[in-house]
Structure formats: structure tokens, C-alpha cells
Chain A
């Protein structure tokens, strides 16, 4: 059904400018809004993996930094392993960390014998552990809720 005064513009689709002159309907592709700022807790929530472990063995299990496959490598601030001597990276701690020490560090404490910066580097390394790397099972078990 068109407006008899404006036969080219259907009544229910006519758009008028402020001066009353008709304006042809404009169609445009509207892109979805994507907000890059965080609302609340951020955009990524990591869920604890489900692995069976007794409470005692969790706290006494060990996590080497780095694992034996990367022995001698230094730890960069983001937790990646880099060649020994890389500027800004940290030498390995020299002994594996106990599960209870890592659990405490994950809760905001500090690994024994570390500075603020080296603690952060080691914790980032541990957070990046993958299945097959030494210490992965111990780390994964630390995140298992205890009943």
C-alpha cells in the first residue's frame, strides 16, 4: 500500500527528513557491536580439570621448572622457555617446587627462594604446562577441588 501523495514510497516504509521532504529508505549492513573492554571478570574463565589425586600426594608432588626436556633453559617473564642467558629471563630455580608451594603461589603467595619477578615467571611457566610435560599431572591435581 503506498501513500497516494507519495506513490513511490510505501506508507509504512517512508522516511521523512526534518523538513518533511521524503528521503529514500536507506539500507545498510549493520555490523554486530564487539566490545573489547572487560565487563567484570574478563573474557576467559579456566575450569579446573578433573583428575583423581589424594590430598597427601598432591601436596608432596613436585613440579620441575623447567621439565627435564628443557633442562638448562631459562624462564622468560611470560613463562616460556628461552635459551640460557637470555636477557630478562630467569635461571631455573635449581630444584623442583613442591605441590603445596605451588598451590600457595597460585593463591597469591610466593614460591620459596624467588623474587617477585622470578616468582611470576615460574608461575607463568607452570600455568602453561601441557600434558606430557613433567609436572603437568601435579599441577593439574592442585586445581582439583578437595572434598
Chain B
């Protein structure tokens, strides 16, 4: 299973410290994100990743805590429609 973020041109993002507001143009919905959701979206910007690859990408840039929570955070992004799950290539 891989996870693909909505294309960059489908999103309008604004930093409202500590939140990141994300307007999803196709659905017209606005979401408020807090870490690690914005960081996860950014890591998916270059293409879909499996949870394992996403973990590795985040670990390269950050000092991760509570790594077992990654799947739950991804489920939130999928439920919001900001990320879609697809079969692995």
C-alpha cells in the first residue's frame, strides 16, 4: 500500500502558527493541521510512499518520537481526503 498526497495545485496552504490551514480545492473543504500532518504531506510531495518509506523520509529530516503513531496520523489524512491510498507499484 502506498499513500499519495493531493497534487500541489489542488491545495492552498497557509501557516497559522501552530496550525497549517489547508484548503482542498476539489472538495472545497478547509482543514487545520498540526504536526506531524504538514510534515507528512510535504514528504509525500514528490510522489507516493509506503508507510515504511515515509517513516524513513521523516527520520532523515527529524528526530522521531512515538513512531507507532504514523499509521494513525496517515488514517486521519486519508479520512480528510488530503491523501489517498493506492496499491503498491
Contact = CB atoms under 8 A, between A and B. Distances in A.
A38 B76 CA distance: 11
Main secondary structure of the interface of B (DSSP, over half): mixed
Contacts of B63: 30-34
Interface string B57-68: 010011111111
A35 B40 CA distance: 12
B79 interface: yes
Contact of A37 (B27, B61, B68): B68
Contacts of B79: 44, 124, 127
Contacts of A44: 31-33, 37, 76-77, 79-80, 82
Given A45-B31, A47-B32, A34 B81 contact: no
Interface stretch (A18-26, A93-101, A128-136): A128-136
Interface residues of A, number: 28
A107 interface: no
Contacts of A51: 28
B78 interface: yes
B30 A49 contact: yes
Interface in B17-38: 25-37
Given A32-B62, A130-B27, A78 B36 contact: no
Interface in A88-144: 124, 127-132, 136, 140
A90 B76 CA distance: 22
Interface in A67-91: 78, 80
A37 B69 contact: yes
A43 B66 contact: no
Contacts of B35: 34-35, 43
Contacts of B70: 36
A45 B32 contact: yes
A28 to B, nearest CB: 12
